[in-house]
Amino acid sequence: MRFRRSAPIAIIVAIVLVVAGAATISNRLFSGMTDAVEADQFRTMGAIVETAIREAENKALARAELLADLPTVQRLLGAGDRAGLEAELSRMFANQKARHGVDQVQFHTPPATSFLRLHDPATFGDDLTAFRPLVVAVNRERVPMKGAAVARSGPAIFGVSPVFDAAGKHIGSVELGIDYGPLMAALKTAYGIDLGLFIEEPVLKQYAQGVDPERMGEENRVGRFIRFEATNAQLIAQLAGAQDIAVVNEPVRYVREAQGLVRGVLLLPVNSASGTPLGVIAATMDFSASRAAVNRSLIWQVVITLVAILTLAGFVIVVLRGFLLRPLQVLGERFDAVSAGEPLTPIEGAETFPSEMQPFVALYDKVRARRSESDKTS
């Protein structure tokens, strides 16, 4: 093994290992920071959707309680005047539907019989006991309640309030339902979140008999669910398949590429007020910025690592050759000449040799001087 060849190689290998190790650790740290950023994005997305749903529930309940407190409503419902109640409230319902996404308003008589649907006045008198537990509970407990439910006209966010007449007698209830569609569209406009609402098909077929059959067609079927609403149906179809939404008992997070972008997907369970599973909400945002930052960081780290390795390796080679290997080579050649009895010449540039080698330079000069004197004597 020659020191001149093995020493630079050993040092360069050590440099490569150290720099590559540092780059790997740096990349892992940055990836961890990116994961933390995406976790915050997921939390923010979930908070936005859940807050919007809670606000919709509160608005629905507030409007239902407002209707229940109107003396005219109390009088007409107590008198069983369906036509009068419709005439009194139909304009109000049209305005609420156009401005605030209220698509269902229904009055009931105890325990849960439909008295009037402002959104479908021709359908009334049906017993809701079997599939509207929220209405049954309100008429039984006689307290306001709120939550998601699947009604005859489809899924909505409901607020239900009991109705009492002027004497305080319980005479029925009124519910107000806010459609998921406008709510989801508003979230997309405000925050760039695309959403899809999936409702279990058996539930829809059994209870949502007033829904257009085309909405439950094959193109909207996803496993045992129907994609009932979507801000971007094609995008949601790519991000939330049958296997993804098959079992969602708690929030589920994952990242997937769709339409050329990396997107974060959040699945949230939709349950009724009593806790019965109804479906799933899929929410998605563009995560391309964070993933692009990771890719850019990786590229820069590779470039910086290569530059650092080449720079340090070049520096080591220059230093070793200029300050150690070259002087050693020159001294070795000169002392070989001494041993072989060859003519001895001065060492040019010996003053640049490291101080540790100057004693050897001085020794060589002494040997050369003595040989020169000996040659002159002879």
Summarize pLDDT for 32-72 with one digit per residue, the tens. Answer: 666 777 888 999 999 999 999 999 999 999 999 999 999 99
DSSP lists the bridge partners of residue 163 as 172
Q: Has residue 22 got a pLDDT over 80?
A: no
Residue 138 in contact with residue 160, Cβ under 8 Å? yes
CA–CA dist 115, 75 (Å, integer):
14
Q: What is the CA radius of gyration of the chain?
A: 41
Max alpha carbon distance in the chain (Å)? 147
1-15, 195-209, 235-249, 274-288: least confident range: 1-15
Round to whole Å and give the CA distance between 228 and 180.
9
CB atoms within 10 A of CB 180: 25
Tell me the whole-structure pTM to 2 decimals. 0.71
Q: Is the pLDDT of residue 1 over 50?
A: no
Tell me: cis bond preceding 213? Omega within 30 of 0 counts: no
Amino acid at 288: S
Q: Mean pLDDT of all residues in the chain?
A: 86
Distance of CA 239 to the CA centre of its chain: 12
For residues 38 and 141, the model is more confident at 141
Taking residues 75-90, what's their average pLDDT? Answer: 96
Helix 3-68 to helix 82-100 angle (10° resolution) is 150
* DSSP-assigned beta bridge partners for residue 146: 159
Distances (CA, A) of 304 to 20, 198, 265: 10, 48, 34
Tell whether the model's pLDDT for residue 23 goes beyond 80. Answer: no
Domains 69-178 and 181-286 alike in fold: yes
| pLDDT reading at 3 higher than 60 | no
CA distance linking residue 99 with residue 254, whole number of Å: 35
Burial (Cβ within 10 Å: 0-12, 13-18, ≥19) of residue 103: buried
Stretch 348-354: mean pLDDT, rounded? 71
φ/ψ of residue 41, rounded to 5? -65, -40
288-323 confidence digits (pLDDT tens) = 876 666 666 666 677 777 777 777 777 766 766 656
> What's the confidence (pLDDT) of residue 335?
73
pLDDT band with cut points at 50, 70 and 90 for residue 4? low
- Give the whole-angstrom CA distance, residue 53 versus residue 149: 13
Architecture of domain 181-286: 2-Layer Sandwich (3.30)
Domain map (residue ranges) of the chain: 69-178, 181-286, 293-377
Q: Which CATH class is domain 69-178?
A: alpha beta
What CA–CA distance (Å, rounded) separates 288 from 286?
Answer: 6
Which string of b and e fits 260-275 if b means at least 16 CB within 10 Å?
Answer: eebbbbbbbbbebbee
